[in-house]
Amino acid sequence: MDVITFGQYSLVYNAFSFTIAVMGAATVFFFFGRSQVASPYRTAVTLTGLVTAIACYHYFRIFQSWEATYAVVGTEVRPSGVKYNDAYRYVDWLLTVPLLLIELILVMRLPAAETVSKGTKLGVLAIIMVVLGYPGEISPNMGTRWIWWTLAMIPFLIIVYDLFFSLGASIKAQPPGVRGMVSTARWLTVISWAFYPIVFLFPMLGFDGTNAQTAVQIGYTVADIVAKAMFGVFIYLIAARKSELEYPEARQTSGSRVSGMT
């Protein structure tokens, strides 16, 4: 690892700490929020909480690895000789990225056959995309990085195509009260996921040494917060809104119980 400044070290350190808090708080919110949505949508909200729980754990390990990689004395930061573990991110993505797509499919409540086919296709493509990205991420050779980035973009573009075209008719079939929210969730997925291949390119576009290292860590961290915690809030809101629209009697029953308690 290159010698980094105290400011760079602290920026990444605090970003990891913040993300652990965000993912942990989101996990608690989603798991407790399960009871606020109708039964058909609880699996989607459960997966949302599972995604942030997995991310919280891996960010804790990433945080530990970052601490172990450097020795800090006052404001002087020196490499400790321990290699920073890039694999934690990719293990996290290997688990969470397919689940993020499946969340969206489940909250749309498509016919069973369509749910299985679309969820399987998008999940497998997501796994392939992550696997193809890892060899380039750990390679110091720019030519090798370009090759693996290009290969990883193939399943990425197929996923984007499916989200906008294959799911288009399914989104139009959603209740009017949530159609816009589902469409926004789809856009949020595409926009947040676009951060990842862009961040991957930083070392190939002029960022070098510690600047590249810092930019990559911060870029991936921001993308994870948006793609997992923020996207999860949208999933929860869609599930809650659809529950209100499709099961108004359950809402009335819940409301009467609360009134009775007060």
- Name the 3-class secondary structure at 70: strand
* Average pLDDT value for the chain: 88
Note the pLDDT of residue 140: 85
Domain annotation covers residue 204 = yes
- pLDDT for 250 equals 56
The 10s digit of each residue's pLDDT in 212-254 is 889 999 999 999 999 999 999 999 999 999 999 888 765 544 4
pLDDT at 213: 87
Q: What is the mean pLDDT of residues 166-171?
A: 78
C-alpha count within 13 angstroms, C-beta hemisphere, residue 262: 5
CA distance 234 to 186: 10
pTM above 0.85, yes or no: yes
Domain that holds residue 36: 6-261
Provide the pLDDT confidence category of residue 255 given band limits of 50, 70 and 90.
very low
Please compute the mean of the pLDDT values over residues 63-71 and round it to a whole number: 94
Specify if 25 maps to a domain. yes
166 lies in some domain: yes
Spatial CA neighbour of 20 closest among 66, 64, 59:
59
**69 in a domain, yes or no?**
yes
Share of the chain above pLDDT 90, in %: 60
Taking the alpha carbons at both ends of the chain, their separation in whole angstroms is: 60
Instruction: Give the 3-state secondary structure of residue 73.
Output: strand
CA dihedral angle for residue 119, residue 123, residue 125, residue 129, rounded to 10 degrees: 150
pLDDT at site 86: 85
Nearest to 148 by CA among 132, 124, 129: 132
Q: How many domains does the chain have?
A: 1
The lowest-confidence range among 28-42, 49-63, 180-194 is 180-194
Residue 123 · residue 101 · CB < 8 Å = yes
Residue 135 falls within a domain, yes or no?
A: yes
Query: In this structure, which amino acid lies at residue 158?
Result: I
Report the alpha-carbon distance of residue 96 to residue 105 in Å, rounded: 14
Q: Please tell me what DSSP assigns to residue 204.
A: G
Residue 166's pLDDT is what? 77
Region 164-189: what's the mean pLDDT? Answer: 83
What is the CATH classification number for the domain harbouring 199? 1.20.1070.10
Mean pLDDT of 195-212: 83
Residue 2 has pLDDT above 80, yes or no: no
Confidence at residue 111, expressed as pLDDT on a 0 to 100 scale = 87
Question: Is 1 inside any structural domain?
Answer: no
pLDDT of residue 70: 92
Residue 4 three-state SS: coil
* pLDDT 10s digits, 25-35: 999 999 999 99
